[in-house]
Amino acid sequence: MAMIETINLTKRYGDLVALDSLNLTIKEGDCFGFIGPNGAGKTTTIKILATLLKPSSGQAMIDGLTVGYKNRQIRPIIGYVPDFMGAYEDMVVTEYLEFFAACYSIHGQQRKKVVSDVLDLTDLNYKAAAEVSSLSRGMQQRLSIARVLLHDPKVLLMDEPASGLDPRARIEIRELLKELKRMGKTIIISSHILPELGELCNVVGIIERGQLLFSGSVDQAMQKARMGHVLQIAVADRSADAAALLQRVKGVQKVVVNEQVTSGTGPSSAGMVERIMQVTLDPAAKLDVSDIPNFLINNGFRLTRFSEEAVNLETAFMRLTKGMVQ
């Protein structure tokens, strides 16, 4: 079931098109990583879904409710975490949470229990009596997440939740998000910290200049960015001959020889130039990667390096946003 859906969602600011016919479908329970350079349209999309911005055209729906027409019904089922925490810094942590619980009409003993529960979940119990202004950036982000969990929303909209955090705080936020994912929340996270999105999210969307370039699983993104297998191969000698030989193999698209200075510790290896062949295989060709080293050995070459290029979410992001994938 689609928990979040956008249909030709468009937002214009005068001549600037911040969102250009965005079509997204996010299923219930998905953790969706929203990736794109600054100004790509991530925050605009999240603010529209949070009912804080009106689209210029198109539709956005949450749990079957149309944003702009059913905002009163949408707001109780969403939680919005901006990249920076808002005001009320003169309150202590429990006052801050009780204030927002009251806004959601949570009263009496239920309010105390809910506040206690979210403090437990976000590991902020030991800061319950601290002033919000005294909290570190990471703790403030955890408090911001605690705030949006008070009314137990189905959907969490998170705009750069790890922005500006130190490595330890990022790990703590990541573990908290994993727990929320296990609880079955539908989560949208925009972030520039791509390795963490790759670990946390089961679905990603890549956006640039307001246009969605890709939406699918992390594996699908990396497969699309791969553009065929890329092998790194080095031979003991006669690199040019080996490259010319590989170029004639059916299924090999391109062979490029690059020189790399080694950094070995021994006096005989440090500073030596290693010639590495970057071999791109045609993804449509039915060529077994293991055939390549056998082919070289059978033709009298001795291999000193053979590896396949690693493709991760950062690679996919760089290639897809630079138009390297058609």
Instruction: Write down the pLDDT at residue 150.
Output: 93
Instruction: Write down the pLDDT at residue 324.
Output: 43
Instruction: Write down the pLDDT at residue 252.
Output: 85
First CA to last CA distance, the chain = 30
Q: How confident is the model at residue 256 (pLDDT cuts 50, 70, 90)?
A: confident
Q: What type of residue sits at position 280? A: T
Is residue 36 within 8 Å of residue 42, measured between CB atoms?
Answer: yes
Nearest to 3 by CA among 219, 155, 125, 128: 155
Instruction: Write down the pLDDT at residue 248.
Output: 85
pLDDT at 313 over 80: no
Q: How confident is the model at residue 93 (pLDDT cuts 50, 70, 90)?
A: very high
Is residue 298 within 8 Å of residue 228, measured between CB atoms?
Answer: no
Domains defined for the chain, CATH in brackets: 2-224 (3.40.50.300), 230-308 (3.30.70.100)
Over residues 130-151, the pLDDT tens digits come to 999 888 888 888 899 999 999 9
pLDDT at 264 over 60: no
CA distance 185 to 253: 45
pLDDT at 12 over 50: yes
